Each structure stands twice: as C-alpha cells, then as structure tokens.
C-alpha cells in the first residue's frame, strides 16, 4: 500500500499502460569487415548501424534518431572508385553540425594515435563526451560491459 497522509497519497505517479523501452542506439564507422562483424556481435541487443564510409556515417547521423554512442575509426581503406573519407570528417561533423542531435558519447577506436588524438581534441573542445581506446578484443569486452551497465 502506498504511503497516505491525511487521506492523500504521497509520491503518487500515474503508471503508463505501455512503457516505452529505449534500445541503446549505436553507430559504428569502420572499414574492416572483421571489426564490423565483431561489433555486431556485442551490439546484438542494441539498435546498431554499421557503416564503412564517412558519408554513410554523416547520413545516418542526419536521418536517424539521435545515437547514444558513436564509435569512430579514423583510417578507412579505399573501395575502388569510392572515396571512404575518414573518421575525422565525422568527428568534425558531430562537433560543428549536429547541435540538435549530438550523441551522448563518442568512442574513438582508431589505432592511428596522432589522428585519434586530433579527433578527441575536436570533440572535446565542443564539450562532447568522448572516450578513446584502440580497437582490441579487450576494448570490445569492456565496451560490451559498459553498454550493459548503461542500459540497466
């Protein structure tokens, strides 16, 4: 029975009939099929969008609902005539153009240390929550645990 004082329910709040469940939304930019596959395995319970070009990442940021987490690689390999861009283009896009849909967190997982540090700087100076951890199986395991903690 809820607490009652002088016939008034204390801390009473209506309970909605249908609770909206928020699925953790993640965008991953990486050119490696093996890495994208590994990300997809740890993101099974999330709404995940996996892309391999900076243009596809920017389109997802514009068209989709805001992401909780964006994971960015820097160096993207060439795909024939397709110019894949790089993660810095996406970091700058988030910092400069996404004011109304800024992701809650950005993870830079590039192994290119100088480029990763520049990406962190670009996001940090715009006061965007940014983390940096080079891609590894340990990073994936820690990321999986972190996402579970954020969801729960």
Longest dimension (CA), the chain: 75
Q: CA angle 137-79-107, nearest 5°?
A: 35
User: How far out from the chain centre does Cα 150 lie?
Assistant: 12
Output the six-digit token pair for 10: 């204390």
Give residue 16's pLDDT band: very low, low, confident or very high (50, 70, 90).
low
Output the six-digit token pair for 132: 């940096």
How does 114-151 read in b/e, with b if 16+ C-beta sit within 10 Å?
ebbebbbebbeebebebbbbebeeeebeebbeebeeee
> Which residues are 51's β-sheet partners?
29
How does 55-87 read in b/e, with b if 16+ C-beta sit within 10 Å?
ebbbebbeeeeebbbbbbbbbbeeeeeeebbbb
Q: How much is the average pLDDT of 83-112?
A: 91
State the chain's mean pLDDT as an integer.
Answer: 85
Give residue 8's pLDDT band: very low, low, confident or very high (50, 70, 90).
low
Rounded Cα distance between 71 and 43, Å, is 12
**pLDDT, tens digit, 9 for 90 and up, residues 128-148:** 999 999 999 999 999 999 888
Q: Report which of residues 97 and 80 the model is more confident about.
A: 97
pLDDT of residue 79: 60
């Amino acid at each position: 029975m809820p607490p009652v004082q002088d016939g008034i329910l204390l801390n009473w709040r209506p309970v909605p009939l249908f609770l909206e469940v928020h699925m953790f939304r993640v965008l991953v930019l990486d050119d490696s099929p093996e890495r994208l596959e590994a990300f997809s395995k740890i993101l099974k319970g999330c709404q995940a969008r996996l892309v391999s070009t900076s243009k596809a990442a920017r389109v997802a940021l514009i068209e989709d609902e805001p992401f909780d987490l964006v994971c960015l690689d820097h160096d993207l390999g060439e795909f024939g005539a397709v110019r894949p861009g790089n993660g810095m283009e996406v970091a700058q896009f988030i910092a400069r153009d996404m004011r109304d849909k800024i992701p809650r967190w950005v993870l830079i997982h590039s192994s290119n240390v100088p480029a990763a540090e520049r990406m962190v700087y670009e996001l940090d100076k715009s006061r965007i929550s940014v983390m940096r951890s080079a891609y590894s199986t340990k990073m994936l395991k820690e990321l999986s645990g972190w996402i579970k903690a954020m969801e729960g």
